[in-house]
Amino acid sequence: MTSSSLRGSKRWTIFLFLILLFDSVALGKVFEVPTANYPTLSSALEEALSNDEEDIIYLIDNICENVLISLKSGSEVITIEGKGGVFDISGDGKGRCLSVLVEGGSLRLVLSKIRLTHGLSGEKGGAFFCEVLLGARLSLEAYDLWVESSTASSHGGGVAFVNYGLTELSFKRAILRGNRSERIGGAVFLDGCYALFENSLVVENRADYGGGGLYIANSSHVVLGSSTVANNVARYDVYKKDGGGIYISGSSTLELKNSIVWGNEGSASSKDIYLSSNSSIQCRYSLLEGFSGEGCIGGNPLFNQDYSLSSLSPCVDAGDPESFPRDDLYGNLRPADGNNDGRALPDIGAIEAQLDITPPAELSNVEALTSTHSVYLLWLNPSDLDFSFVRIYLNSQGSWEKIVEIFSEEFLVQGLLADTEYSFKLSAVDIFGNESEGVVISVKTLEETPTNPDPMPQPDTTPPQDVLNLSASPSTFSVTLLWDNPQDPDLKGCRVYRESLFLGSLEVSPSSSSFYEVKGLEPDTLYSFKVTTLDRSGNESSGKSITVKTLPHNNPPVIERLGVIPSIGSKGTLFKIFSVAKDSDGDSLSYSWELSDESAGLFMPYESEAYLVAYALLEPVSVHVRLRVTDSKGGFDERSVSLKIDAWREEDSDGDGVEDSVEGDWRSNPKVAFFYESGIMLKVDQGKLRNLSLKVENPYDLFLEVIDLNPGDRVELEFLFPNLIDISLYAWERGDSFKALPFVGASLILKDGVDPDLDGEANGRVGVFLRFSGKPVELKGGCELSQSSTLLGLGNVLIIFGAVIHLLRRVL
C-alpha cells in the first residue's frame, strides 16, 4: 500500500469514527409513542431525560395523557413531533396536557405538529404550564402547535409561562383557539418572559377578568409578527373587562409587526388592547384601533370565516415590504397577489391572501311573478365580500343570452309573449370576474284574454318597521347605540344619523340585535342620534331617535407609591404591602390586588393595603403583587411590586415550620408563645400554637394557628400586652374585611369553623389574622397592669428570660 493510500485510509477511518461518535452522542435516541416499548409519552420522556443526549420523540397516534417534564440540573435537548401529521395530546378534561418545571440547568424543548386539547387546571395553564426557577434556563421552539378547548381556574386558559430565570419562547404557525381562563389570559399568560409569535392565530378565547387573548405581565417582552388576534373576549357575566385582545402590564413591552388586533370584546376603552401606564407598545404595518405607528391602519379587516383575508381587505398588500416571513400560517408563500392587481406585496395578518379564482355563492330565494307579457324576478344576493353584480340570462333556442347585469335584488323582464314558457338563469359575479354556475328558474306567462289585462307588478314602496328598544351607552369620547331589529322579511340594513348628518350603515337580519359605536365625540356634550331601517327595495323608515350626553372628561387616578414592609424578625413571615393613590378629580377609589403565586402564602387585600402571611418555604420564592386603582368613572392606574420570601434556614426546635427566633421560646409549653422584641405573650387553653407571625408596630398585626383541636372546638386565647392599655381588637373575616371583636379583659373566644377562622371549616384547626391597637403605657414607678395574675407572672418570667437571651446574643 502506498503512503498516499495509507493516509487516505486513515482519513476515512477517522471520518467514519466521527460519524459514529456524532450519531451516538449528538443525535441521541429516537422514540415512537405509543408503541409496545413506549406506550406513553411519559415513559419515553423518563428515558430521554436521563441520557444527556439530543432525543427525538415521534407521536404516531393521538394520546390521552397528563405529561410532566422536570429538570433539576444538567443540559437537555428534547424534540416532541407528530410523525406524518398533527397528533393530539389530550388532557381529557382531567388535567394539563403538558407541564414543564425547570428547577436548574438548561432545557431546550422543541414541539412540532402537536395539538394540545381539552386540558384542565385548577391553577395556571389549562393545556400547557411552564415554570423556570431562578438560575435555570428554558428555550422553547414551537412549530405548527395547536392549543384548543382548554380551561384554567387561574392564569392562562391555554398556556401559562412563569419565569424567574431565563426563558425564551418562539411560536411559529401556532393556533390558539377556544380556550378560557377564569382569571386572566384566555389563551396565553406570560410572566417575565421573552416571546415571539409569528404567523400565529389567537382567536375565540375568553378570560373573565382581562386579556381575552394574551396577558403580558411583569417585564415581559413580546414580539407579535404577521399574526392575528381576533374575536377574543374579556368579560365576567355581563361586565366587560380590560384588554379584550391583549393586556399589557408591569413594565412589559409589545412589538406589533404586520399583525391584526381587531374585533375583540372588552371594556369600552380597551376592547382590543389595554396598555398600563408603565408599559409600552411599538406598532409597525399593523391593523389596530387607538394606537399609531409607521404603516399602521384601522378599520374592518374583512375576514373570511377562517380568518383569511378577502380580496377587498385593507390588509392585502399593506404589510412591511422590507420585512416579512417567507410563508404564512398554512405554508403559503409570501408575498402573493391576493387582490388580482398584478402586484405581489406582503399582507398584514397570519394568512396571506391568495389569487382569487373562487366564484361567489349562488343567489338565494329566487322566485318569479308572471303576467301576460312580463316576468318579475326577485332574489337575495350572496354575502361574499367581493360580490359585484348579478348577471341574468334568457334561454333562447337552446343557448343562454345575457339580458342584463344588475346589483339590486329584483328585475322586471318585459316584452314577452303571452302563454309562453321561458327559462332564466341568474348568476353571481365577483369583482375579479369569477362567476357562479347560476340558478335556473322556468316559468310560463299568463294566457291573454280580453278580460285578463296584463297585471303589471307594482314596485315595493312600503318602508320596514322602525327599530325597537333603542338605547345608548355613553363614554367620554364615544356613544354606543344598541337596538333590536324588526321582523320584516325584506329587512336589509340600518342607517345611523347624528342630527341630520349621515354617519354610516350596517347590514342586519330580521329579529336580530345590533349596535353601532359613534367615536370622536366631545366630553360632557349632549348629542341626538337617529337609527332608520332599510329594505331590499331601498325604502327607508322614518327612524327612532335618542338623546344622550357623553361622560365628563376624567383624569384617572395615579398610584404614587407602592411598597412592602416585611415583618420584624430574623426572616419575616408577615408582609404589609401599602399604597398611596390620588385622584385629581376627587373621585372615589376602589382597589384590586393580585398575588402572582398563591402558593406563597395567605394573601389578604384590605382597601389600600394588603397582607401576605408567607408559609414556611424550603426554597426562596420571588412573587409579584399587582395593584389596580379604579375611580368611580372607570379610569384606573396599575402598578406592580416584587418581594422575595426567604427560605427557612435557622433552628426550628419544635419542627413546626416556624423558626425559634421568630416564634420565641415555647418549646416547654406549646400552649404559650412569647415574642422577644415586643414582650407580647399569647396563651391558649387547649391545642397547640404554631405558625405565628407578628408585625411589631401600633397597630399590631398578628397571624396564628391553633392546631390539635377536635372539630368544632372552642378555644380561649389570652393576651399579655405589657406596653398597651385601652386595647381594641379586630379580626379578618372571610368577607374580606376587618371587623371589631368583643375583647373582655385579655381574652378572646375562638371557635373552629366559625368567623374569624380563616378556612371556615370545622377541621380541628383555627387560623386567625388579628389587628389590635391601644394607648402606649408610660412606665413609671408603681405602674400596675390589669391582666390576670397567672398569665402576668408567666409573662414576667419570659420577659426577663427574653432580655437575658437578647443580651447574650449581643455579647456572643
Which residues fall within 8 angstroms of residue 634, CB to CB, at 6 or more apart?
Answer: 267, 269, 475, 554
Q: What's residue 573's pLDDT?
A: 63
C-alpha cell at 18: 466521527
Instruction: Quote the CA–CA distance of 215 and 209 in Å, as a whole number.
Output: 10
DSSP code for 345: B
Mean pLDDT (the chain, rounded): 82
CATH topology of domain 468-549: Immunoglobulin-like (2.60.40)
User: Per 3-state DSSP, what percentage of the chain is helix, strand, and coil (rounded to 5)?
Assistant: 10, 45, 45
The predicted-structure confidence for 715-751, as pLDDT tens digits, reads as follows 888 877 666 666 777 777 755 567 777 665 677 888 8
Contact 55, 77 (CB under 8 A): yes
Q: Which helix (H) or strand (E) holds 495?
A: strand 491-498
Asked if pLDDT for residue 420 goes beyond 90, the answer is: yes
CATH of span 25-284: 2.160.20.10
Instruction: Quote the CA–CA distance of 415 and 525 in Å, as a whole number.
Output: 59
Cα-only R_g, the chain: 36
Mean pLDDT of 163-186: 94
Q: What's residue 457's pLDDT?
A: 61
Instruction: Quote the CA–CA distance of 206 and 185 in Å, as a whole number.
Output: 8
118-132, 321-335, 435-449, 623-637: which range is least confident on average? 623-637
Q: What's residue 653's pLDDT?
A: 54
How many Cβ atoms sit within 10 Å of the Cβ of residue 55?
22
794 SS3 class: helix
What would the DSSP string read from start to end of 362-388? PPEEEEEEE-SS-EEEEEE----TTEE
Q: What's residue 674's pLDDT?
A: 62
Asked if pLDDT for residue 10 goes beyond 70, the answer is: no
143-157, 220-234, 500-514: which range is least confident on average? 500-514
Contact 215, 187 (CB under 8 A): no
Asked if pLDDT for residue 786 goes beyond 50, the answer is: no
Instruction: Quote the CA–CA distance of 294 and 16 in Å, as a whole number.
Output: 55
296-300, 493-497, 541-545, 672-676: which range is least confident on average? 672-676
Mean pLDDT of 460-489: 90
CATH topology of domain 364-444: Immunoglobulin-like (2.60.40)
Q: What's residue 809's pLDDT?
A: 34
Q: What's residue 666's pLDDT?
A: 41
Q: Which amino acid is at 297?
A: I
Q: Which helix (H) or strand (E) holds 46?
A: helix 41-48
Residue of 767 and 486 predicted with greater confidence: 486
Q: What's residue 445's pLDDT?
A: 92
201-203/228-230 β-pairing: parallel
Instruction: Quote the CA–CA distance of 666 and 186 in Å, as a whole number.
Output: 48
Q: Which helix (H) or strand (E) holds 804?
A: helix 789-811
The predicted-structure confidence for 230-239, as pLDDT tens digits, reads as follows 999 999 877 8
Instruction: Quote the CA–CA distance of 410 and 407 in Å, as a whole number.
Output: 9
What residues does each domain of the chain span? Answer: 25-284, 364-444, 468-549, 558-645, 663-811
Q: Which residues pair with 216 in a beta bridge?
A: 190, 248
C-alpha cell at 71: 429538570
Q: What's residue 83's pLDDT?
A: 94
Pick the CATH number of 558-645 from 2.60.40.10, 3.30.70.980, 2.40.110.10, 1.10.3720.10: 2.60.40.10
Q: Which amino acid is at 178?
A: G
620 SS3 class: coil
Q: In the 3-class helix/strand/coil scheme, how is 79-142 assigned residue by residue?
A: EEEECCCCEEEECCCCCCCEEEEECCCEEEEEEEEEEEECCEECCCCCCEEEEECCCCEEEEEE
Whether the domain at 468-549 and the domain at 558-645 fall into the same CATH topology: yes
Contact 272, 240 (CB under 8 A): no
C-alpha cell at 527: 348629542
Asked if pLDDT for residue 373 goes beyond 80, the answer is: yes
41-55, 572-586, 605-619: which range is least confident on average? 605-619
The predicted-structure confidence for 52-83, as pLDDT tens digits, reads as follows 789 999 999 999 999 999 999 999 999 999 99
Q: Which helix (H) or strand (E) holds 20?
A: helix 3-25
Which residues fall within 8 angstroms of residue 49, CB to CB, at 6 or more apart?
Answer: 69, 70, 71, 76, 78
The predicted-structure confidence for 273-324, as pLDDT tens digits, reads as follows 999 989 999 999 999 998 999 999 999 999 988 899 987 889 999 999 999 9
